[in-house]
Structure 1
Amino acid sequence: MARGLDRQRHILDFTLAALLRRKGKTGALVAVYTLVVFLLASALFFGHALRREAELVLKDAPEITVQRSLTGRYAPIPKEYAGAIGEIRGVSSARPRLWGYYYDANSRANYTLVVPAENQPDPGTIVIGSGIATLRDANPGDQIGFTGYDGAAQSYRVARVLPEGAGLVSADLILISERDYRALSGIPDGEATDLVLTVHNAKEFATVAEKIRQRFPDTRPIVRDEILRTYDALFNWRGGVVAVLSGMAGLAFVIFAWDKATGLSAEERKEIGVLKAVGWETSDILAMKFWEGIAVSFTAFLLGVTLGYLHVFWGGSFLFAPVLKGWSTLYPNFRLIPAVDFGELGAILFLVVVPYSVSTIVPSWRAATIDPDAVLR
């Protein structure tokens, strides 16, 4: 066994020396290969990290959200529904919530208006996210104007700006008092945007939601797990867009690599003939080409994955972040927490290393089975 390992070590040393002799050709192949792996790995890392961020953000989301729907359209919900729903067995609490969106025509951005349950800003003041502060060039003490539902101008003083560290959640966020929100949106005192529920037992979410639908047919209960599945599907779709584009580049590379692997150059055929003439066996030739494929593909895999990791978690994924983030104007500044799906990474490793390594063996076997004199001639 030790003799066999020494034999493979010597073959590997010769293979690496041969690759270095053709460093121009080898470098070009590794560079193209690395680019394909880099694109695929970046899409993988970014999509998985965003799904992880969504899970962390939504873990504190309401267990059940109850919305009202009239003829298929979203509508404010009467606050009296909260008392009736709170009496359903299994429901710990039911609280009305006020929030909505405001489109700023000047900056062409959508803001999210929220009335916090506790510590509401004083009437006439608002708390804004870092994205809005940058977009509107606003600082604490400045005035920001909005147009109400009735066309009347409303002005609010910026009490403070939320920290940038919470950019993923609060970049487009405006915290406002209940009185100011109702004056701006036109929602009367007896109605709310939706209801948020707390349930005793997580296993009863579906049962409670069904009871709400039966008692109030005009409502739509949304369980937190449904939101998580929606975000997961969304990020999978956005990641799939980049993966398809990367796959097209990968297909072009496969054609290039297959042409390179299946068509040995005259120099490589001569090298094989010389090795056969000095006593190398066909199995040794195949082992050499196998190690050559492993060296090229595995090096490209390591470089591509490393560059993809740095691109996503240190470079902000600047190449295709707008495609995957999805915000139209306000792009939150945040650094993703490194999260790697080793199962998907292993699949990329298999698809990158195995096909190329195998494709180098077939033409080498054909050349190795020819008489050395014929090859040299």
Structure 2
Amino acid sequence: MSNEKEQHRSRLYDRLPRHPFYVEEFIDDLEVERSPTTLLNYIYDIEVFFDWCLREGLVEGPGYKDIPLSFLADLRLNEVNSYIKYLQIERKLMPRSRARKVSSLKSFFYYLTHRSEDENGECYFYRNVMNKIPLPRVKESAAKRADNISKKILHGNDDRELLEFIENEYVATLPTTGHYNQYKKHRERDLAIFALFLASGIRVGELVSLNIENLDLHDQLLSVSRKGDQQDLIPFRPMALPYLNAYLEKRPMYKPDDKEQAFFLTLYGGSGRRMTSRSVQNVVKKYTSAFNKQLSPHKLRHTVATKMVEQGLSPIDIMQQLGHSSVQTTSLYTNPGLDARKKKMSEMDS
């Protein structure tokens, strides 16, 4: 398990004692099939809901442990709708973010009404108010979704131009010698991060979880830990090889001890430690902002998916490369029907 997953598991266990026993049982029920990150997000989402209930005076008590099962069993539809309005109006969450919080509550209530057991072998209660709550829908067609993604990714040769910018032109944007020294120290590592993202389409969590043994540079293969700790083997583009080899030559500069097998390192306390997702996100944001195309690791992933479609790879191939659970997710990256219509409409003027 990567350091980041260990940190998330630690945070999860730190927070659980604040909660009633039935929340701990809910997490325990899912622990085998869900990652620590997913379980921690469940806890965060439940806490947002519990905080709102306590703030609104729907239940008495100073803390989460004071929220009885009977309160959840008797929760009314109008109260849940008020909570969703709170997410929308006061917290200003977009539909996708609201949907995630509602989905977490749906999973929580499903456990309480279908999988829990009291001393008599019965579920804690059977009335599930969350069954009456639809997930917030994003009113967006496949064409609109694909177009929105297209505006926020790299196109054509932009991926290679970005690597060239980081390697040769970024230095001209630096304001001080201190910034230059930091750039020079980490340049090979940062280039390798971008190259591997653009050559494989892996997630940021998958990238930071990589150990040295997970990269086969000879056959250009990665052994990645997918969601749910599922192990997978995927190819990456040869264009990443010179950047990965250059970083490997410089990796000893981070002074990792013999036990540190993480591929991507950062300096912490004078020695090399595994990078976190947050630190990689900051690296990506820093360089792409200077490139006048502020991106996230997820947008780099979108870039790879779109290029794979343009190269004629099948939806199944793309699904397997990106680790999607369904072809439907893959179809959101592009909309061939829209592209075909645009071409036909243009031909009408020729």
Mark the structure with the bigger radius of gyration. 1
TM-score tier after normalising by the smaller chain length: under 0.3
